[in-house]
A and B are shown apart, each in its own frame.
Chain A
Amino acid sequence: MAGITISSLSKSYGGRHLRLTAVQDLDLAIQDNQFITLLGPSGCGKTTTLRLIAGYVTPDTGSIHVGDRLVSAPSGVVPPERRGMGMVFQNYAVWPHKTVYENIAFGLKLRKLSSTQVRDKVEGALDLVNLKGLAERFPNELSGGQQQRVALARSLVVEPDILLLDEPLSNLDAKLREKMRGELKQLQRRTGITFIYVTHDQAEALALSDQIAVMHAGRLQQFGSPFDVYTTPANRVVADFMGLVNLVPGRIRSISGDMAQIEADGGLVLVAPRPPEMALGMEIEIAIRPENIRLSATPETFAGVVSERTFLGNLCEYVVVIAGGRALRVQTHPLQQFSIGQNVGITIDPSQCSLFAREPDAVASAA
């Protein structure tokens, strides 16, 4: 089966003087029939990981197995053409000198299929991506979205076990991106092909994936379901990358069982679930999502003053200044309106907060 096992994979580029580590000690077990996203900011190593899986790049250390077949190791790689994978590129890479038909038929002809078989399969693939009737067009006569579908059809028609997608939607406009996103998800469900999808767009990753691998600076930060990655980020980097977050410094005042009482800047006192490694008196940071803070016109235990208001249509975003001058970002229902300068009560849902140990330099700067 087409599960992928990546163990202690590393790759760095450059010469003797300046070496850039693209991927470092990556371990990842990808199950068959899943939609996996490699997520991270540009330069985090996600594209290099994808190209390592595809066989374009030879790793420095570690290995990649597809099923029980070793495909990549520092001593050699199975070349891309022997991997039976498909890949869709960010710029589509639809060959400009071949028609849509010739583009899609390319891989089939290499597999020595008869011409009727080729024709049938190309027809089927065009149908699959809603491009019927465009077979004789050249790529320059197609829109970006249509070219994207050609690229998809070309990869799918050879029936790969694994389809690699490198930011395939980033060159499309917002509406079309939304639409293709839905189609991609459907395709994966229908075909059962393992999709490995690279993106820097966390919304895309949340919407599409069965599992998200968050990468940063060449290292895997967290591997889990979209819900887990969003609600219980493994570290500060993940919390910061997955949507908006308020990071408030504080320390642990007391511990009782799984819960810890935390006192944070601005007079916030919370009782939140405690990660096992956290001990009494530790300097920490609390990650609070803006949507997990509620505002009220009546004073509560914590209070603040609204200093900025941004209407975003489906929600309203406020900046609320609490004691000590610390600013919190808060998102509310658009109909719940507060005015600038208004005193508001603040309620935080502690079960949705995450605690991270503060890094030494962060402690120093906070002191």
Chain B
Amino acid sequence: MTGATVGSINLGRQVPLGLTKQRPPSRFTRLFSLEYLVMGGAIVALFVLVVLPLCFLLIGSIWGENGFTLEYFTEAFSGRLYVQALLNSLILGAWTGLFSLLLGLPLAWAVARTNIPGKPLITLTANLSYLSPPFLTAIAFVNLFGPNAGLINAFSRDVLGLPWLGFNIFSMSGLVLVTVLHTFPYVYLLASSALQSVDASYEEAAQILGASKWRTALLITTPLVMPAILSGVLLAFVNAIALFGSQAIIGLPGRIVTLPTRIYSLFDYPPQYGLASALSLLFVFITIAALYLQRAYLAKRSFVTLGGKGARPQLMDLGWAKWPLFGFCLLVFFIAIVLPYMTLIAVSLSKSWGLAFWKGLTFEHYRFVLFDYDVTQRAIRNSLGLATVAATVAVFLGAIIGWIDIRTHLPGRKFLDYAALVPLGLPGIVMAVALIQFWLSMPIALYGTLAILLLAYVGRYIPLGVRAANTSLRQIDPTLEESARILGASWGHTLKEITLPLMRPGLFAGWLLVFVPVIQELSASILLFSSSSMTLAVAIYNLYETGYTEPVAALAMINMAIIVVAIALARKIAGDGIGRESDKNLTTQGGTA
């Protein structure tokens, strides 16, 4: 072979640069490569975080002092307390699902398909409602509609003299109201994105064949978006029944005990681990069943997006009818955002909450919670630290697990993917019970430390990390990595130089998606915290339990400020386009708070 020189490159080299002759490596040596060590580490982590705790939960529910027993399950299915809790949870979920639909769908349709004014306001309402910690909304509404001290109730009773006008928030309807304000965004976001992605040509095709606008909406559009709507309702259901905070704050005073609050009460001395495990499994079964249905519905959605890039939804001119619809949207904005936040601000600034709260406004409560109440600063530090570490770990693990699932043919990778999704069906309190069962039987004392909280957060939110990684990996053509390999880059070098930089926007969205719920996590933390591992949400809940109405509101506002600052910072660091992607992920997954 004669080497021809072209330009300054000698292209006819006979020995490739920097490459030595060698035989194929054996399987044995491959097992110890970086690639397999990292992947193995991720798999082990997933087992420790999710699989083993769940196994211990299962064992704990059927293993009594004298070996195998079904007594816990018998008790869970026959004890009046437990059956009632189950019923209450289902009733709450059903009503919440229904009202989320009634609230979310009109808003989604208005934004996606009509010429209604004020669309940014509606989007803002949905996003803020999703981001607000549900227990804050609950506390705000208690301040307004508590049977005795609630401001509005007091006003109608003492000033108007019309006590029947009052509304007792400590009731199932009160609980549904507070919960819906947090869950309707699921229906809204799924429905509006589906409505927006239906290609207008489907509808135009129906119209050219002679169908009227309403007929088209009924016969073409509705069936296309129905899977997305149903899927949103199921997500609302699953999230509603998992919210510990509002169920404790609203439900317990009204003697409405639900599954999370019943499980919580089983940890009063003496703790009944077996029964708690059995109830937790029952709880898991309900959420998994609902999520399974949700996925099945969502899978059908694929034909909506088939429309491709050219989706130009038709906007319907509502004429005068847009004003009542706009009024409805304003009302939702007022009840979901203005009312709770104005209330919290007013309470936090008032000397003492009551009809004459505006006399003597003060910052005293902020000073108190920030400087005098010794828990706050520790709680803020813990929550910020935990959220940062948990989000980073969840996203990194997610990236590796997503990579294994999408890029390798490793046997059992589908199992990994499922295992990483299971926590979606685990309400926070169940995760906590599982972790307690697991780590109490381990020789390492983790209970009450920050470490167990971190495990709980990473375990619960790893699905969001995996999903974020999967979404962005799917958008990266594998040949981009393959071309690095054939140029001589090792697995690790390719990951560092090509894969991770290309995944960065998606991973950042995932990071934010984990960070925000962790900052406000209450359901799992409430069982796992100790005074040294106090978190912000637990601090607020404890303060509320102790009856400090005004300082609670101040702390709640501080919590909200931290969330807003964190999101703003993250967006600034990651650049634009993050919000959109996180919204999309949120709609298809939805972490339970």
Contacts and interface: CB of A to CB of B under 8 A. Distances in A.
Interface string B1-35: 11110111111111011110111111100100000
A190 interface: yes
Main secondary structure, interface of A, reads: mixed
Contact of A192 (B3, B493, B501): B3
A121 B24 contact: no
B17 A87 contact: no
Nearest to B7: A124
A96 interface: yes
Contacts of A306: none
Given A76-B27, A121-B8, A159 B489 contact: no
B574 to A, nearest CB: 14
B1 A192 contact: yes
Contacts of B317: none
Nearest to B24: A76
B497 interface: yes
Q: Chain A contact residues (Cβ within 8 angstroms of B): what range?
A: 35 or more
A77 B24 contact: yes
Interface string A54-86: 111000000000000111110111111111111
A69 B11 CA distance: 22
Interface string A116-156: 00001101110110000000000000000000000100111
B498 interface: yes
Nearest to A159: B13
B480 interface: yes
A81 B482 CA distance: 9
Nearest to B480: A93
Contacts of A120: 8
Interface residues of B, number: 42
A135 B434 CA distance: 56
Interface in B311-365: none
Interface string A22-59: 00000000001100000000000000000000111000
B487 A107 contact: yes
Nearest to B10: A159
Contacts of B19: 82-84
B253 interface: no
A107 B488 contact: yes
A224 to B, nearest CB: 23
A191 B486 contact: no
A75 B484 CA distance: 24
A112 B501 CA distance: 22
B485 interface: yes
A283 interface: no
A167 to B, nearest CB: 12
A175 interface: no
B483 interface: yes
A338 interface: no
A89 B11 contact: no
Nearest to B477: A91
A355 B485 CA distance: 46
Interface in A86-123: 86-87, 89-91, 93, 95-97, 106-107, 110-112, 120-121, 123
B479 interface: yes
B498 A95 contact: yes
A157 interface: yes
B24 A71 contact: yes
A287 to B, nearest CB: 38
A174 interface: no
A111 to B, nearest CB: 4
Contacts of B1: 1, 32-33, 192
B201 interface: no
Nearest to A189: B4
A193 B11 CA distance: 8
A78 to B, nearest CB: 5
B87 to A, nearest CB: 44
A252 B239 CA distance: 78
Contact of A161 (B9, B16, B23, B486): B16
Contact of A158 (B4, B23, B485, B487): B487
Given A32-B1, A76-B24, A124 B488 contact: no
B490 interface: yes
A125 B9 contact: yes
Contacts of B483: 87, 89, 93, 95, 151, 154
B502 interface: yes
A81 B502 contact: no
B9 A89 contact: no
A160 interface: yes
A76 B26 contact: yes
Q: Which of B7, B24, B498 has the most CB of A within 10 A?
A: B24
A83 B9 contact: no
Nearest to B33: A79
Contacts of B18: 110-112
A84 B24 CA distance: 14
A71 to B, nearest CB: 7
6 contacts: A54-B482, A89-B479, A159-B17, A161-B13, A190-B4, A191-B6
Given A72-B24, A161-B13, 6 more contacts: A32-B1, A89-B483, A93-B477, A110-B487, A110-B488, A190-B11
Interface of B: 1-4, 6-14, 16-19, 21-27, 30, 477, 479-480, 482-490, 493, 497-498, 501-502
